[in-house]
Structure 1
Amino acid sequence: MTPVLDPDTSLWHVIALEVQRQRIAHDLSVTQLATRLRVDRSTVSRIEHGWRKLSPEQADGLDAMWDLQHLFRRLVRFAAATDDGNWFTGLMDFEKEASLHRMWEALLVPGLLQTPDYARAMISTKSADVEAGLETRLARQASVFDGERAPRVSVILNWAAIEQCVGGRDVMRGQLAHLLEMGERPNVNIRVMERDAGAHVGLDGSFRLLTISDREIAYSASPERGRLVLEASDVHDYAVRYDLISNLASPVGASRRLIEQALEA
């Protein structure tokens, strides 16, 4: 029995329907597409009917054949991430490609700006394999900050992030000093939302925006599992929220003094 494809509930169904749509738009039969991909006809048929998942290699082949600017490669990456219950896999890949990072952090120093000791203290609260988690986090930092093309990074920290003592006083001193050091980089902008800012949209939770080429994606954080936000209208809503938060945050100079005061305390 042929499965009913529902693109509203499955990214793999989106991929199946898009393969079929592109094939028809380029006036190819199933057999002709199979020949170009160097697979048998049944493979293409099973992909289009949702019985078989498009492989990363096949995705690259379709992207190159139809000049789709990595469309299928990205769709397969997202679909694989949801299969694993790990949207963060997709986020890590896009962090490497982003030219602009915008982050709002309500409670903690963001992972990309954490020292090893701070990161180790946080990872230990939810994982038994602390060193593996730390290795992954440090690799993320290196992929963003040590590449040939340094992205612009704009971070707004809630006051709680610099006052909450994580890992003990010495660890927190090192973390605050690291924030000051990172803030000296020409491509890094760190600001603080002060305690007296009152109620604002950022209190709903942390999130980030990534600019990749000519598009944006968002990532909404949660204690158990964050999610990538791809729909343009939804991403726009996050961009508006970021602007509203930015309007309330202290300027860079004043924020730096707040971090210095926290360090002295």
Structure 2
Amino acid sequence: MLPAADALDPDNNPWHWVSVDLRVWRIERNKSQADVADILGLESSTVSNIEAGRSKLTTENARKLDVAWRTRGHFERMVRMAESKHDPDWYKQSLSYERRAALIRAYESLWVPGLVQIEEYALASFEAAGATDPDRLWRDRKARQEILHRENPPQLQVLLDQAVILRQVGGVEVMCRQLQRLLELSHLPHVILRVIPFDEGAHMGQDGSFKIMSATRGQRRSGWDAVYAEAPIGGRLITDPAKAADFWIRWDRIGAKALTVAGTRRLILSTMESMR
């Protein structure tokens, strides 16, 4: 089997190009991975992971390399270019972060988040999107939901625009069952659900849905953060710490517009009553 670094595809994957270039420039300078780690303030294992394509070079660390090796911005330009390209594997990668997260914060402006969907709602959403195998997609989604019921589940915090609970995906009966499911989940000790009502007017969340996945549960984060931002033809995975931190600020600003947990339950109940 080829070593991970030799299995990279720099011709078709811009992040692999960054990894390969880092390795080439390091070897040309007769430097070890430990030498690069000293420049970047990282562990040698992290540099190894970057060169193998398992981790990504951040913009900040790209700048450090450019300064240390006098590359006139070479690595920062490469990272910017890699970030600007769509990677079809981002969604799959985001699920790996989701499985390992201790805290998940999801904001949705259009749909009930996949982690808390019921089957009928999910199938209706797949069919609306033109999926050719909605049953398989539901099996995959249901498997994802198992993290909420394991022995040590992640803390799940959900913010929903009011439009999400009003849109009758799958019809009235399906939507009422979905809303009932949200109410049930909101009483679990590891789930917080809040809705941003229409009367709050415009808010930052209208720019698009996103999900923050974190290795730790507190506001003082000591592990990794990963963000998956939704988009019509495929979302974007963000692992750069500085860029991920921007989404924590965005989350707080959206949350400032949301109802309390109790107020959210009352709004969901009144929405269900109006549908029947």
Rounded to whole Å, the distance in 2 between the matches of 1:91 and 1:246 is: 23
2:231 is the counterpart of 1:227: no
Distance 1:264 1:69, change over 3 A: farther
The 5-angstrom pairing of residues 30-179 of structure 1 reads 66-68=44-46, 71-72=49-50, 75-76=53-54, 85-126=88-129, 127-142=131-146, 144-179=147-182
2:35 is the counterpart of 1:10: no
Equivalent residue number for residue 259 of structure 1: 268
Q: Alpha-carbon deviation of 1:131?
A: 0.6
Rounded to whole Å, the distance in 2 between the matches of 1:84 and 1:241 is: 24
Is the CA contact 1:77–1:90 (under 8 Å) kept in the aligned structure 2?
no
Q: Alpha-carbon deviation of 1:14?
A: 2.3
Distance 1:114 1:68, change over 3 A: same
Equivalent residue number for residue 211 of structure 1: 214
Is the CA contact 2:19–2:52 (under 8 Å) kept in the aligned structure 1?
no
Distance 1:17 1:114, change over 3 A: same
For structure 2, the 5+ residue unaligned runs are: 1-8, 36-42, 57-81, 217-222
The one-letter amino acid paired with 1:186 is P
Is the CA contact 1:15–1:76 (under 8 Å) kept in the aligned structure 2?
no
Q: Secondary structure at the match of 2:151?
A: coil
The one-letter amino acid paired with 1:100 is L
Rounded to whole Å, the distance in 1 between the matches of 2:204 and 2:228 is: 16
Q: Alpha-carbon deviation of 1:24?
A: 3.0
Distance 1:27 1:121, change over 3 A: closer
Distance 1:148 1:17, change over 3 A: farther
Distance 1:244 1:18, change over 3 A: same
Is the CA contact 2:210–2:228 (under 8 Å) kept in the aligned structure 1?
yes
Q: TM-score, normalised by structure 1?
A: 0.75
For structure 1, the 5+ residue unaligned runs are: 29-64
Distance 1:27 1:75, change over 3 A: closer
Q: Secondary structure at the match of 1:248?
A: coil
Computed over aligned residues only, the root mean square deviation of the Cα atoms, in angstroms, reads: 3.0
Q: Secondary structure at the match of 2:212?
A: strand
